[in-house]
Amino acid sequence: RLLHIHRNVPGVLSEINRVFAANNINIASQYLQTNEAVGYVVIDIDAAHSDIALARLAEVPGTIRSRVLF
């Protein structure tokens, strides 16, 4: 399970999902919450891909922080 905190601007969620698609990582579930300035998404993926995904998520424009929850 990953957490991605980002600026709430158009296109960020699309870029996040593109990271997973480009690395052939299946998303089991996602939960998104935003306010006017900040958004966060909790993403469930196969734990074997967590390190790859985390490194790529950090490169998404608008990222404030990303980390493995568990």
Q: Could you write out the DSSP letters of every residue in the chain?
A: -EEEEEE--TTHHHHHHHHHHHTT--EEEEEEEE-SSEEEEEEEE-GGGHHHHHHHHTTSTTEEEEEE--
Share of residues in the chain with pLDDT > 90 (%): 86
Q: How many domains does the chain have?
A: 1
User: What is the rounded average pLDDT for all residues in the chain?
Assistant: 94
CATH number of 51's domain: 3.30.70.260
Q: How many Å apart are CA 51 and CA 56, to the nearest integer?
A: 9
Domain housing 53 = 2-68
Question: In this predicted model, what pLDDT tens digit does every residue of 28-51 receive, in sequence order?
Answer: 999 999 999 999 999 999 878 888
pLDDT at 66 over 90: yes
The distance of Cα 63 from the centroid of its chain, to the nearest Å, equals: 9
pTM higher than 0.85, yes or no? yes
